[in-house]
Amino acid sequence: MVYSPQQAIEILTNASTCNQSHRLIASNGLSRANVSSLMRKLIIAVSALACGAPFWATTLQQLTLDAMIQKSSVIVLGKAQPSYTAMRGTVIFTHYRIQVAEELKGVPAAQFDVAVPGGSFNGSTQNFSGSPAFADGQEHVFFLWTSRTGLTQVIGLSQGLFDVKTDNTGSLLVSRAASSSRMLDPAGHEVADGSFSMRLMDFKSRVSNVLAGKAAQ
């Protein structure tokens, strides 16, 4: 079994203390041979953050655009507004209300509650490198993933958040800067993330084609 960043965090949201989080890590197969060393390090890193470290540099599993299209529960265009912070297990989350302008995948809804790891709660602060940052009033494309416990997050952390802006020709572009977080491919090899830019109309076509099972052109 291979853990994504969200799954590693999800393990810890079921723990109420640091000792319990370590037991949950073990019970979720951390020491088993079929858990990659990459994901083992990731879960340990998240555990260290939740157990008192104010900041932790996150290792991300690289996701392609097509993989995010396939794995996400919902893909929407919209804007985010901060709503509240809450503690789940040993992890602080900042919740945002996503006002939906257009759905590209998933069940239509006017808004979504999205949780981003990190924030301040009851005098404690946690910061996750690699967490998505929503710009106030900025339109984004959100690739959202909902866990078995009902927590909705941006898939792949910052990888699943794209800006929507107008270029100098008046065309709408979907773009994302390269992540500065350490990133590894599914085989565990370190890779460099790259920036992304595509016209919105082409981006929508890409999403539709992938969902229809067509190869990217």
Q: 159, 181 in Cβ contact below 8 A?
A: no
- Which pLDDT score, from 0 to 100, does residue 5 have? 52
Structure tokens at 11: 């393990």
Q: Give 143-192 pLDDT, tens digit per residue.
A: 999 988 889 999 988 999 999 999 989 999 999 999 888 888 878 888 98
Where do the domains of the chain lie?
A: 5-61, 65-182+193-211
- Which pLDDT score, from 0 to 100, does residue 42 have? 47
pLDDT < 70: residue spans in the chain: 1-58, 215-217
DSSP 57-124: --EEE---HHHHHHH-SEEEEEEEEEEEEEEETTEEEEEEEEEEEEEEESS--SEEEEEEE-EEETTE
- Which pLDDT score, from 0 to 100, does residue 4 have? 52
List the Cα angle 100/115/161 in 5-degree steps: 60
This model's pTM is above 0.85: no
- Which pLDDT score, from 0 to 100, does residue 64 have? 92
- Which pLDDT score, from 0 to 100, does residue 89 have? 82
Q: Crossing angle, helix 37-50 and helix 18-27, to 10 degrees?
A: 160
- Which pLDDT score, from 0 to 100, does residue 55 have? 52
Phi-psi region of 8 (alpha: psi -120 to 50; beta: other; left: phi over 0): alpha
Q: Which CATH number fits domain 65-182+193-211: 1.10.1060, 3.30.2250, 1.10.287, 2.40.50?
A: 2.40.50
